[in-house]
Amino acid sequence: MKFSFLKEKITPEGPVMQCGFAARTHKSVGVHDDTYASVVLMQANETVAIIALDVCLGDKNFVNGVKKAIYEKYGLTQEKIIINYSHTHSAVALRGEKKDGRNDPEDLNYSRVVTEKILNMIGEGLHNLSEGEIYIHKGKSKFGVSRRFPSEEGILWKPYFDENSIDTDLFLLKFVDNEGALRGLIYNYACHPTTLGSDNYLISADYPGVVRRVLEERNKGMTTVFLQGCGADIKPYITADNGKFKSCNFVELEQAGLSLADEIEKCLKSGEWRKINTNFIAG
């Protein structure tokens, strides 16, 4: 099979309304760390594209617009395209063009910029595919904590340290070229990137950004891609503080990201990897 990994910076160039916390009262005031769009292309019997974005969310108009543009330019049909949002609450939402014309010019312009970067990466990736193999590993992590505490009063908003209330699965896909070099890593975990709270007005990818930076520094030539799982009621463990949740500072953000990166690094060094038969079924 063949594959390619690409990433492009999508950090907003000026103040924007961050998405995720209703308590925010004004636009962002700067950048703590850059946000990225990543593209993974896999080609065997079919060509499949995975697009991972350091944003809070994307609406249907954005998704439909991106998939339509990819099909028109490269012929990839929508069932062969996966779009995943990290769900960081320290970045923006992507909103596509509405048919009724009621669009926010700033939102629409940013979404168009991101779409163009995605298209360019796919084009570059299709021309720079590497021969290699994919391997899968299933690990476990207690990085997350449930935010739904069952009590006689009902469900409370407070930390609930119960492994059965969170998804502890940590899935990894590693991509190795024919020379044996580790070229790419996809990791999938379910947890809100809400280490930073509503009092943060700096753009950030939150803990996935720290994990990416640390793993890529440790593994030169490897691109790291995060795919968010089903983490609706899961927050980073470090936000739990004496029976409540807190907004962490940037030192704590670094600690949290480093702890997850260490867990992933341990998995990378494990011998428990299984080669995947790359016969894609898209539908």
Residues 72-123 pLDDT 10s: 999 999 999 999 999 999 999 999 988 777 888 889 999 999 999 999 999 9
Model confidence at 277, pLDDT cuts 50, 70, 90, reads confident
Residue 281 lies inside a defined structural domain of this protein: no
Residue 221 lies inside a defined structural domain of this protein: yes
Same domain, 150 and 231: yes
How far apart are alpha carbons 133 and 52 in whole angstroms? 21
**pLDDT (average), residues 256-278:** 95
- Structure confidence at residue 142 (pLDDT): 94
For residue range 122-167, list pLDDT tens digits in order. Answer: 999 999 999 999 999 999 999 999 999 999 999 998 999 988 899 9
Residue 280 lies inside a defined structural domain of this protein: no
Same domain, 111 and 26: yes
Residue 152 lies inside a defined structural domain of this protein: yes
Range of the domain at 112: 2-126
Same domain, 96 and 161: no
Same domain, 111 and 197: no
CB proximity list for 230: less than 8 A, separation 6 or greater: 167, 190
Out of 110, 126, 142, pick the residue that ends a domain. Answer: 126
pLDDT of residue 178 exceeding 90, the answer is yes
Out of 74, 100, 126, pick the residue that ends a domain. Answer: 126
- Structure confidence at residue 13 (pLDDT): 95
Same domain, 122 and 172: no
Out of 109, 126, 143, pick the residue that ends a domain. Answer: 126
Give the mean pLDDT of the chain.
Answer: 96
Same domain, 35 and 113: yes
Count structural domains, the chain: 2
Look up residue 76 and give its two tokens. 């990839």
Look up residue 257 and give its two tokens. 């990201």
Least confident of 31-45, 168-182, 264-278: 264-278
pLDDT of residue 281 exceeding 80, the answer is no
Residue 263 lies inside a defined structural domain of this protein: yes
User: Residue 145 carries which side chain, given as an amino acid letter?
Assistant: V
Percent of the chain with pLDDT over 70: 99
Residue 226 lies inside a defined structural domain of this protein: yes
Which candidate, 11, 224, 16, places its Cα nearest to that of 104?
16
Same domain, 186 and 117: no
Same domain, 146 and 104: no
For residue range 26-53, list pLDDT tens digits in order. Answer: 999 999 999 999 999 999 999 999 999 9
Same domain, 42 and 116: yes
Same domain, 18 and 52: yes
The predicted model scores a pTM of: 0.95
Same domain, 265 and 148: yes
Same domain, 110 and 211: no
Higher pLDDT, 218 or 101: 218
- Structure confidence at residue 98 (pLDDT): 84
- Structure confidence at residue 114 (pLDDT): 98
Residue 222 lies inside a defined structural domain of this protein: yes
- Structure confidence at residue 104 (pLDDT): 83
CB proximity list for 36: less than 8 A, separation 6 or greater: 7, 8, 9, 10, 54, 205, 212
Look-up: residue for tokens 């669009």? 103
- Give whole-number Cα distances, 250 to 28, 176, 210, in Å: 16, 33, 10
Model confidence at 283, pLDDT cuts 50, 70, 90, reads low
Residue 282 lies inside a defined structural domain of this protein: no
Model confidence at 271, pLDDT cuts 50, 70, 90, reads confident
